[in-house]
A and B are shown apart, each in its own frame.
Chain A
């Protein structure tokens, strides 16, 4: 099949960008979206043109490196899927596909479709951990944890930190990302000691990075490739209120 791509090209963060159109022919429906871009890039290299820069690594939906806005949707048209797992069978011959980077003030563009998401690391630095040193941990079965709590913690911990929640939110809010980490530790006994400081510090850092406030519309949940639930945000709000009131 043949598709037309309208791709955002931007040399770096300090120069303006623009859409550039490319025709890509001989696309097979078994190709992944990135393999289609690889093919286009190789043809650009052969012609002596600059290939399109995009972030990607594991290509199996777990590292969280990739993330494109495809036709206005984070990670493209499918639900519960990262860009790297999107295959061309989701498109039709003759389609025009618009490809953009994540757009958010806290994610400045590095080049073309690549943005800087280190703001997420700084939110984690503010409290996304349990302060245990290596060594001296008690036996792993010393504290039984209910399967329900462990499963709930896992569901939150499944976040891959790709930033789709921010990109899809009209306020560019990082609530779902932050809430997932706060929730993981809030439901586990290991997380209780630092529970209050954690939520206050992580939320403060989230605000400092320039992410917007939650819109309560749930676009983040709808577009999250790991289907992290909005329940996490509800829990974060409760944790925040509790920590603020308890002082």
Chain B
């Protein structure tokens, strides 16, 4: 039986973290160098954790399937990072950032974790500036802020539309410094294919060298996963092509509970799908909703060019329905409304699956140069992809899978249900509840890596003296053999369908039945179709080449095989949650105004799933969410 003690410290909300840091046992500096910690994934959360732990004196083995930490998908985050600095003097505070995040997540996150996130947000900005990250500044030399969805204050720090890039390069710079010092050994182009658990503790991993195909076991005193989210399960998403769930999923199969897998964020402002061959979707930063206005024609079937449609025939539906937040409603709300107007037949573009994001007003008000300075790279990117000039015609946008709030369950110390396995960043479930607000992912990744794990992992290690375990232990031998066998099994299928085609089909099932809105019938269909497709995968997939060489098709197949299992759990979770909350919208549970209708009496918990075996329903364990500092209200952005 799994235990779900979140280990939330006692005391008032605002003092929990300070008190907890004091209560945690410390590892003395001379002992730190005896411990080895494995960090899998070197994006924002992984790189910041690896660098900071190395600075403290631990030995770090870092792994990435990329050639360099700088390629991690954190780099693609555009709009910004939140912090409660209140530099604009507009009434922000740590409590307000906490409140907005809890409310934005539709009251499905843990209060104590979210408060800590808000609390350390300010340290992140200080740290990043000290590293030389060129955030946008005002003429007086102070930092500039902008506003983002779900908030009525300006608390977002940014570097044009490339904030993720600049923050990742900052964390990367801290990491390479430790690589140079010999405290971090970085393994590029390595895939983690299994977690090794010895005597109930996470003690190592099995990796495949993607260039040579070599399978290797690595031992450590603790393992950190910072391996990102699973939005690529949808095939078409804003994630990078290689983003995958394999590390998390294999840890799940070793005993780490997976929490709230159905909480998947569909981002409202992406470039719409144009053809069958499309390999990915591109995000247009939410920050564009600061200055762009979202609209569709008032009447279905209006095929006039956007600039020929007069004001009176346009419906600025977000401004109309949500007068106080307008275009800056949270992502789940904006996405659902876009789908609704398209379902009414008012969608635009060749496919009818798009709405306009129009900059004509701001260009007229502030001039083209002003817009170019603020969003230039995004406008260029849009033009590259669509061949249209957004300075002259409105952008066409549509929602796309973007981020996953669900992930491996962790306690307040970011430790999973396997002792010694810690999970950071998007890979865990902890801070965003059922919906993440914009500019909060970068904040969470860096909070976990720079300011949380360095303390909490010490508390764990201090109680586990370093021992002489090595990879000759039978658990390592067994895990290694298991990995080798699973790769051989994939190569032995010898069907005739490319893995990508099978992945596309999985994505379509998920998009249709486990996407922006869900219902019982659809989810039951998905629960039939996914296992059937999985069976087909294991019969029909064609994977060329061998396992002992560079083989990108084999990498892909091994990841898609895991998606085929995870997808089923997502549907199971979505079916069991008979309420609507945040990004999880069940059509049966909505208000008369088509807003999400929560059921706090029955569903104010995180759903934590325990793996049984492939094809069998997983076992549900609940962690009840206790709200002592905020009142559960129906979210209103009107």
Contact = CB atoms under 8 A, between A and B. Distances in A.
Asked if A and B are interacting partners, one says yes
A120 interface: yes
A87 to B, nearest CB: 7
A118 B71 CA distance: 12
A232 to B, nearest CB: 14
Interface stretch (A61-69, A96-104, A235-243): A61-69
Interface stretch (A150-158, A164-172, A206-214, A215-223): A150-158
A99 B211 CA distance: 22
B126 A50 contact: no
A39 B134 contact: no
B280 A190 contact: no
A29 B52 CA distance: 47
A155 to B, nearest CB: 9
A108 to B, nearest CB: 11
A146 B144 CA distance: 12
B91 interface: no
Contact of B381 (A85, A110, A188): A85
Given A48-B544, A110-B211, A141-B142, A38 B385 contact: no
Contacts of A18: none
B136 A150 contact: yes
Nearest to B65: A57
A41 B282 CA distance: 22
A58 interface: yes
Contacts of A22: none
A131 interface: yes
Contacts of B131: 129-130, 132, 190
Contact of B87 (A48, A126, A141, A146): A141
A129 B132 CA distance: 8
A188 B179 contact: no
A89 interface: yes
B100 interface: no
Contacts of A141: 85, 87, 142-143
Interface string A34-68: 11001101101110111101011111111111000
Contacts of B567: none
B500 interface: yes
B385 A42 contact: no
A14 to B, nearest CB: 12
A178 to B, nearest CB: 14
A160 B165 CA distance: 8
B405 to A, nearest CB: 21
A125 interface: yes
Interface stretch (B270-278, B433-441, B574-582, B599-607): B270-278
Contacts of A64: 70-71, 75
Contact of B177 (A50, A129, A135, A145): A129
Interface in B109-167: 123, 125-143, 159-160, 162, 164-166
B67 A117 contact: yes
**Contact size range, A:** 35 or more
Nearest to A85: B384
A141 to B, nearest CB: 5
Contacts of A147: 137-139, 141
Contact of A137 (B129, B176, B385): B129
A166 B71 CA distance: 18
Given A42-B500, A134-B450, A135-B123, A57 B71 contact: yes
Contacts of B454: 134
A62 B377 CA distance: 10
B51 A134 contact: yes
B2 to A, nearest CB: 33
Contact of A60 (B76, B274, B277): B76
B392 interface: no
B71 A153 contact: no
A117 B76 contact: no
B232 to A, nearest CB: 11
Contact of B143 (A34, A41, A140, A188): A140
A173 interface: no
Contact of B67 (A59, A80, A116): A116
A26 to B, nearest CB: 10
Interface in A64-113: 64-65, 80-81, 85, 87, 89, 110-111
A154 B130 contact: no
Contacts of B553: 45, 51
Contacts of A247: none
Interface of A: 12, 28, 30-32, 34-35, 38-39, 41-42, 44-46, 48-51, 53, 55-65, 80-81, 85, 87, 89, 110-111, 114, 116-118, 120-121, 124-126, 128-135, 137-141, 144-147, 150-151, 153-154, 157-158, 160-161, 184-185, 188, 190-191
Interface of B: 48, 51-52, 55, 66-73, 75-76, 85, 87, 123, 125-143, 159-160, 162, 164-166, 169, 172-174, 176-177, 179-180, 186, 188, 211, 240-242, 274-275, 277-280, 282-283, 380-381, 384-385, 387, 450-451, 454, 496-498, 500-501, 542, 544-545, 549-550, 552-553
Top 7 A-B pairs ranked by shortest CB distance? A144-B141, A129-B173, A137-B130, A153-B134, A154-B134, A137-B126, A125-B180
Given A121-B68, A190-B130, 9 more contacts: A32-B279, A45-B542, A45-B544, A57-B71, A60-B280, A62-B75, A63-B76, A137-B123, A154-B159
27 contacts: A28-B277, A35-B277, A46-B497, A50-B544, A56-B241, A57-B241, A61-B381, A61-B384, A62-B76, A63-B71, A64-B71, A89-B387, A110-B211, A118-B67, A121-B188, A125-B177, A129-B131, A129-B177, A132-B127, A133-B52, A134-B51, A137-B126, A153-B132, A154-B160, A158-B162, A190-B129, A190-B130
